[in-house]
Amino acid sequence: MKKLLLIKVFVVFQLIALAQYIPVSDSIPVEYFVTHSRAEWMQKAADLGIGIELTDSIPVVISKIERFTESYQPKKQYPDDYYAIESIIQTIHSFKEGGYGIGAIMVDSAGNIISKNYNSQIQRHRSDLHAEMTLLSDFEETEEAKNYLNVFIYHPGVTVYSSAEPCPMCLIRLAAAGVNTKYVTPGPDDGMANRIYCLPAAWRDLAYRYPCVKAKSSPELQKIAHLMFFSFLLDNRGPH
Ligand SMILES: [Zn+2]
């Protein structure tokens, strides 16, 4: 009897260990990644199950997302969780400044984070300062950047993790800089990663040389990155 119990305990522990490696539910319908209204945004935020109420104020909602993201433990089956978290933290910094909730970080070939930044279009009154553009442009102004650059092309193995799928402008900039890209939330209506075949031949070849692919990050983080991308719906920020 005791032996049977021990076997049962052993099996349960094995299943728990195995569960660490099985993706929970990685198939979020693509429609999820477009949000049309503040009401829809709030419902999705409440559905995250992180304590957000439909009646919460904007600062409360954002602080709950921030607390959840900062304490999120990367999952073993999602090897990009660690960098996804860092890029999402940048989205929150931008939102709190009055900007768009999109962030990006740069990682060297050894996996060290060498730069972090976020979309600054609203804050700096610049149409070009998407998260990836701000990241590259600000970094390239620093002395440290020379350690990673061959004139203006990054050394092999540098990767940008963006909280959102790059737009056409950013995808071209990233390819022209010679960096690989991983993004957390897909952008079915605005992303360029799955439309590279549309580019003129020379740019298409360059873009294929430096892959831009979806990060392997947990569904919760993908949803949060998406909601931060559409956080402008909360207070209708940006040009009108
Ligand atoms: Zn962009």
* Sites in the chain below the pLDDT cut of 50: 16-25
Give tens-digit pLDDT for 100-151: 999 999 999 999 999 999 999 999 999 999 999 999 999 999 999 999 999 9
Q: State the pLDDT at residue 195.
A: 97
Give the whole-angstrom CA distance, residue 180 versus residue 159: 5
Contact 88, 69 (CB under 8 A): yes
Ligand 1 center to 169 CA (angstroms): 5
Give the whole-angstrom CA distance, residue 215 versus residue 81: 8
Ligand 1 center to 191 CA (angstroms): 8
CATH for 110: 3.40.140.10
Q: State the pLDDT at residue 20.
A: 45
- Closest by CA to 214, choosing from 113, 45, 18, 83, is 83
Q: State the pLDDT at residue 3.
A: 62
Exposed, middle or buried by CB within 10 Å (0-12, 13-18, 19+), for 177? buried
Q: DSSP string covering 1-68, please?
A: -HHHHHHHHHHHHHHHHHHTTS-S-----GGGG---SHHHHHHHHHHTSSS--TT--HHHHHHHHHHH
Domain count, the chain: 1
Q: State the pLDDT at residue 168.
A: 98
Ligand 1 is an ion; residues with CB less than 5 A from it:
130, 167, 170
Residue 8 lies in a domain: no
Give the whole-angstrom CA distance, residue 63 versus residue 18: 33
Residue 3 lies in a domain: no
Q: State the pLDDT at residue 24.
A: 45
Ligand 1 center to 228 CA (angstroms): 15
Q: State the pLDDT at residue 2.
A: 60
| Longest CA pairwise span in the chain (Å) | 73
Q: 92 is in which domain, residue-wise?
A: 45-235
Q: What is the pTM of this model?
A: 0.89
Q: State the pLDDT at residue 218.
A: 97
Our CA angle for 104, 109, 112, nearest 5°, is 60
Ligand 1 center to 132 CA (angstroms): 6
Ligand 1 center to 58 CA (angstroms): 25
Q: State the pLDDT at residue 56.
A: 98
Residue 21 lies in a domain: no
